[in-house]
């Protein structure tokens, strides 16, 4: 299974694109509006039965089983800096022991953005994931 954090404007496109008859994908967000839009869009997709959309808090949510893969699309770089260690331990809890974490950082195109959202964060990751 895959998990995905989505935004109201994103509407869950990636959850729908990644879902297949062999792959169940869960979309998670705090926003009821975001989940409602995603559910509506997914309903007309060919793999609607392989998608699940949940309104819950990433930091307290208790799924039935851990995930093979988690795709974090600009969630990590949107949360408060102080929350990052908790983010890392939650990711470790939510993944299977051999699970994979795929993270998309802020897709900025200026050097300043890359420095702030990408390079610095990779340093944080390597520290957190060793804990
Ligand atoms: C920067 S947006 C992600 C952007 C999204 N991937 C997109 O492409 O539009 C961050 C998202 O995280 C959600 N979020 C923030 N805190 C959360 C939490 N504790 N649990 C679940 N979702 C949360 C917000 O509602 C928001 O939709």
Q: What is the pLDDT of residues 106-124, one digit of tens each?
A: 655 555 555 555 444 454 4
Name the maximum alpha-carbon separation found in the chain. Answer: 42
Weakest-pLDDT range from 23-27, 46-50, 74-78, 113-117 = 113-117
> What pLDDT was estimated at residue 120?
47
CA triple 37-42-44, angle to 5 deg = 115
**What confidence tier does 80 reach under pLDDT thresholds 50, 70, 90?**
confident
* pLDDT above 60 (res 34): yes
* CA proximity to 10, closest of 57, 61, 83, 71: 71
Please name the helix (run of DSSP H) or strand (run of DSSP E) that holds residue 91, with its range, or none. Answer: helix 84-94
Q: How many domains in the chain?
A: 1
Q: Best substitution site from 8, 18, 30, 33 to test ligand 1's pocket, by max atoms within 8 Å of Cβ? A: 30
Atom of ligand 1 nearest to the CA of 75: 10
Give the per-residue pLDDT at 7.
Answer: 60
Question: What is the structure's pLDDT at 55?
Answer: 95
- In the predicted model, what is the mean pLDDT of the chain? 80
User: 84 is in which domain, residue-wise?
Assistant: 2-129
Q: What is the CATH number of the domain that holds 75?
A: 3.40.50.150
Closest ligand 1 atom to 10 CA:
9
Under a CB-based contact definition with an 8 Å cutoff, are residues 31 and 54 in contact?
no
Ligand 1 touching residue 67 (CB < 6 A): no
| C-beta of residue 55 within 8 angstroms of C-beta of residue 31 | yes
Matching residue, tokens 């008859």: 21
Looking at ligand 1, which residue's alpha carbon is closest to its atom 27?
7
């Amino acid at each position: 299974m895959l998990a995905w954090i989505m935004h109201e404007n994103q509407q869950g496109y990636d959850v729908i694109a990644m879902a297949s008859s062999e792959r169940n994908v869960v979309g998670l967000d705090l926003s009821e509006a975001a989940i409602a839009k995603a559910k509506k869009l997914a309903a007309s997709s060919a793999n609607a039965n392989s998608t699940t959309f949940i309104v819950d808090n990433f930091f307290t949510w208790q799924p039935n089983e851990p995930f093979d893969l988690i795709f974090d699309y600009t969630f990590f770089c949107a949360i408060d800096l102080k929350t990052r260690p908790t983010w890392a331990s939650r990711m470790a809890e939510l993944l299977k022991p051999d699970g994979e974490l795929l993270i998309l950082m802020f897709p900025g195109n200026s050097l300043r953005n890359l420095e702030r959202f990408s390079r610095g964060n990779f340093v944080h990751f390597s520290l957190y994931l060793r804990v």
